[in-house]
């Protein structure tokens, strides 16, 4: 039941100094490349990005929240809202919905598959 014990103050101080040294070493070696490697995650969807997502979705076989989130750097909640909005507008068709995941397909592909008429 006890679980892991708390570190002492001196152990915390040593750990903090080691982490600072590692960050400084990593920062000196890579420079601007390290800053560019980090993707910015967007919570709200700008209009330009929304239009780009709408265009790109038409060429896909299926679309999930994770695909949109990873491809465009959106949070999962924002990607879910985008997909729900596009489904309400009639640009996507809900193929399958589970507890955690929804699978959508573009209208043209749904017609080819016989999901809608």
Average pLDDT score over residue span 56-73 = 93
| Distance in angstroms (rounded) separating the CA atoms of residues 38 and 49 | 19
Strand, coil or helix: what is 55? helix
Whether the full predicted model's pTM is greater than 0.95, yes or no, is no
What pLDDT score was predicted for residue 41? 55
Looking at residue 37, what is its pLDDT?
Answer: 47
Q: What is the overall mean pLDDT for the chain?
A: 85
- Decide if 83 contacts 95 (C-beta within 8 A): no
In contact, 50 and 86? CB cutoff 8 Å: no
């Amino acid at each position: 039941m006890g679980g892991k014990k708390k570190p002492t103050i001196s152990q915390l101080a040593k750990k903090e100094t080691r982490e600072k040294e590692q960050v400084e070493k990593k920062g000196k070696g890579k420079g601007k490349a390290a800053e560019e490697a980090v993707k910015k995650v967007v919570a709200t969807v700008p209009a330009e990005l929304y239009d780009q997502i709408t265009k790109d979705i038409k060429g896909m076989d299926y679309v999930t929240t994770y695909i949109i989130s990873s491809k465009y750097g959106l949070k999962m909640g924002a990607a879910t809202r985008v997909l729900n909005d596009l489904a309400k507008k009639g640009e996507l068709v809900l193929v399958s919905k589970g507890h955690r995941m929804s699978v959508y397909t573009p209208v043209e592909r749904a017609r080819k598959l016989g999901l809608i008429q």
